[in-house]
Amino acid sequence: MKITPLDIQQHQFRIRFRGFDLREVDSFLEQIVDEFETLIRENANRQTEIERLRHEIQEYRDREKAFKDAMVNTQKALDDMKMNAEKEAELIVAEAEMKAEKILSTAHYRLTQLHEDMSELKRQRMQLEVELGSILEAHRKLLDMSTEAMDAKETSEQKLKYLKGR
């Protein structure tokens, strides 16, 4: 059972022969009432302060949870960004490798064509050399025949002169 200051103030003691001095008891009870009222006010103030602090602690806990959630979300976003960057880098590398492979393939094809062109030019040169050699040989033979014919003509003319001059 709770005792209130009013209970203390209104409490009546039985009077007996040679009992307590009523003024002294009343004075003491007044002091107890005042002290009790002060304690009740302080207790109420402390209860109010405790409630305020509990509310403040809850707010701090809520903020802490929000910060933790934000940190988790930020970390998740960073992890996602890192993963996306790695995937993008892999795609870029793969694309670069494909382009390099295509360039190499084109270069090999072009090199093969150049070798074929060089072989064809060498073949054509050899063919021209053979043809030129044949033409030169034919012209030499013609020259030789022409020289022989001129020598024969000269010899005939000399013989004719010799025969005429005789």
**Contact between residue 29 and residue 9 where contact means Cβ atoms under 8 Å apart:** yes
Instruction: Tell me what pLDDT residue 21 has.
Output: 74
What local confidence, expressed as pLDDT, does residue 14 receive? 74
pLDDT at 74: 97
pLDDT tens digits in sequence order for the chain, 166 residues long: 577 778 778 877 777 777 777 788 888 888 888 888 899 999 999 999 999 999 999 999 999 999 999 999 999 999 999 999 999 999 999 999 999 999 999 999 999 999 999 999 999 999 999 999 999 999 988 888 888 888 888 888 887 777 777 6
Q: pLDDT value at position 5?
A: 77
**H helices, E strands: number in the chain:** 2, 0
What pLDDT sits at residue 1? 57
Q: What pLDDT is stored for residue 117 in this prediction? A: 96
pLDDT recorded at residue 59: 97
Alpha helices, DSSP H, located in the chain: 5-10, 22-165
So what's the pLDDT on residue 166? Answer: 63
CA proximity to 66, closest of 56, 76, 74: 74
Q: What pLDDT is stored for residue 72 in this prediction?
A: 97
Question: What are the residues whose beta carbons fall under 8 Å from the beta carbon of 33, sequence distance 6 or more?
Answer: 5, 8, 9
Placement of tokens 């709770």 in the chain: 2
